[in-house]
Amino acid sequence: MHRNKIIQSFNRREAEQNCLSLLQLCTTLSKLKQIHAHLLKSGLHSNPLVLTKFSSTCSDLNNIDYAASFVFCKEAQTHLYDTFLFNAIIRAYAQTNHTKQNAVFAYKRMLQYLIKPNKFTYPFLLKASAGLLGLNLGKQIHGAVVKYGFDTDLYVQNTTVHMYCCCVGGIEYARNVFDEMPKESAVSWSAMIGGYVRLGRSTEAVELFRRMQFDGVRPDEITMVSVLSACADLGALELGKWVQRYIDKEGITRTEEVCNALIDMFAKCSDIDEAIRVFRNMSGKTIVSWTSVIVGLAMHGRGKEAVDLFDEMRRVGMKPDGVAFIGMLTACSHAGLVEQGCRYFDSMVTEFTIVPKIEHYGCMVDMFSRAGHLTRALEFVQEMPMEPNPVIWRSLIYGCRSHGELELSESISKRLIGDEPMHGSNYVLLSNVYAKMFRYEKKTKVRKVMEKKGIKKVPGCTMIELNNEIYEFVAGDKTHEQYEDIYKMVDEMGRAIKKAGFVATTSDVLLDIDEEDKEDTLNRHSEKLAIAFALLNSPPRTMIRIVKNLRVCTDCHAATKFISKVYEREIVVRDRNRFHHFRDGCCSCKDFW
């Protein structure tokens, strides 16, 4: 009798191992179904270890629903289920974009079956919550983490930080968790720095990176990608160069992601030539690498070079994707290459069978509008196979304003307000159109509507990096400790460029005030304050780089050309749309922006 039990036990273990081996080798759903039939026939479907492996195999074959339908069926022997099985299902759902909600459902079933989660359950669940962007859900899961005593586990803490960083309104919760963690691991620092970068809080990301250095924690490649993204956002070239040297000094691997981040940083920090050098020295270029340089050249107004690089990419066998074509069409738009842009748009469809998205149509409308082909732009919008989005309408408005079609600008602006009654920029566009038309009563009426609805205009601000510090100015700013000297310098600049022939573009002042007051208002624009600050605090003839959050106005653009000549400075301005390289009284955009 004892001998028979031993033999039966041996046979069960052998059958179990055979099934595990079959599942390990399984590569198709049809084979999986055959193994499933064998499990049911042999009774191994009630073996927790086999069932867990079965679920994992379903996940590997992108069919976790097949396993879940078996596990959660009415006939399921739930008393045989364990934590490992549910972890496998939760993990599979969390790693699949379209089924993250099912991870939460599986977790609820787990609790209903009185199966206790362990420390491996929550990282998967927190990742699913991050993908769902649900702050309240994330808080509930975090509460369960604390309840079950896993809040001191480093891996759980890291995923909790990541989850909060992904949720709207969750960054402060993320920082609270981060501040209570041990800081030996670069992973937690990367999660927090990356969270700040994704929210556009790049200054805080850089400050945290500096603290990371002070605490002696060695960053990894992921950290460096986030820090480089922060530098790109801030336009902090000197810090970006230091990060590049640090990567090489510390022997941090220049992965494709790191190289692509370097390309993006240099392009967005005005050193497009260094971005090209990094690109040329890459051993393995991806489509992201090519696209980053093409977009960078487009932003700098070097459309012909962008076209040449796009053609080179095709010659070496790298097939362009939809993003690459957006970069190419943007280059044509900023360089005024209308007919070339049309040819590339057509080739995207006919040669590469890429279905144009709303972004591609937006590039085309922007290209026609910038070049003054307004009738062509309107016809293109009318022939689109989809409804134009607000970005496309705004491109038309800017084009109409630039080329004197103010009544059409008014009509489109009113339509935008009807479609997006709480979007502040729509009201600003309409009020600016009325100011251009000298219809100040209607402009005032629009502003009062904004006030009544609680809609505020985004204030213009300019950032400048000097001596490894980032300084920010807003129009009429008096918060800087040097503000008195800065304003004296602004007045001196004004007198010097007027003497050289500059005439203020007072039509840019959208207020019903006299000409002298209009000039005074223009002199207090944030970019002029930043340039004055740079003239006061940097050596003669050195380059000045500034970053503007809005489109540079006509007056500041004209004034900066004169400043570059009078003070013998090369000035690089990055605004919301592109780069302007001012040198000896000329701009790289050739007044086309």
Q: Per mean pLDDT, which range of 252-261, 342-351, 465-474 is the poorest?
A: 465-474
- Alpha carbon of 268 to those of 202, 227, 265, 292, 296: distances in Å? 14, 14, 5, 10, 7
pLDDT given for residue 399 in this prediction:
83
Question: pLDDT tens, 418-428?
Answer: 888 888 888 88
Tokens representing residue 113 in the block: 């079956």
* Chain center to CA of 502: 39
DSSP string, 519-535: HHHHHT-HHHHHHHHHH
Average pLDDT over the chain, rounded to whole?
84
Decide: 582 and 564 in contact? Cβ < 8 Å. yes
Q: Per mean pLDDT, which range of 28-42, 277-291, 370-384, 560-574 is the poorest?
A: 28-42
The proportion of the chain whose per-residue pLDDT surpasses 70, expressed as a percent, equals 85
* Rounded-to-integer distance, Cα 411 and Cα 192, Å: 45
Per-residue pLDDT for 346 more than 50? yes
pTM, to two decimals: 0.78
462 strand-pairing partners: 473, 548
Per-residue pLDDT for 341 more than 60? yes
Higher pLDDT, 67 or 165: 165
Question: pLDDT tens, 364-397?
Answer: 999 999 888 999 999 999 999 999 988 898 888 8
pLDDT given for residue 448 in this prediction:
85
Per-residue pLDDT for 568 more than 50? yes
pLDDT given for residue 507 in this prediction:
59
Question: pLDDT tens, 235-249?
Answer: 899 999 999 999 999
pLDDT given for residue 419 in this prediction:
83
Strand duo 571-574 + 544-548: pairing: parallel
Per-residue pLDDT for 555 more than 50? yes
92-96, 216-220, 289-293, 518-522: range with highest mean pLDDT: 289-293
Give 100-106 contacts, CB < 8 A, sequence gap 24+: 100/128, 100/129, 100/131, 100/132, 101/128, 101/132, 102/64, 102/65, 102/68, 103/128, 104/128, 104/129, 104/132, 104/137, 106/68
Q: Is the dihedral of CA 363, 367, 370, 375 positive or negative?
A: negative
Per-residue pLDDT for 141 more than 80? yes
Question: Which residues, 6+ apart, have CB-to-CB distance to 316 below 8 Å?
Answer: none
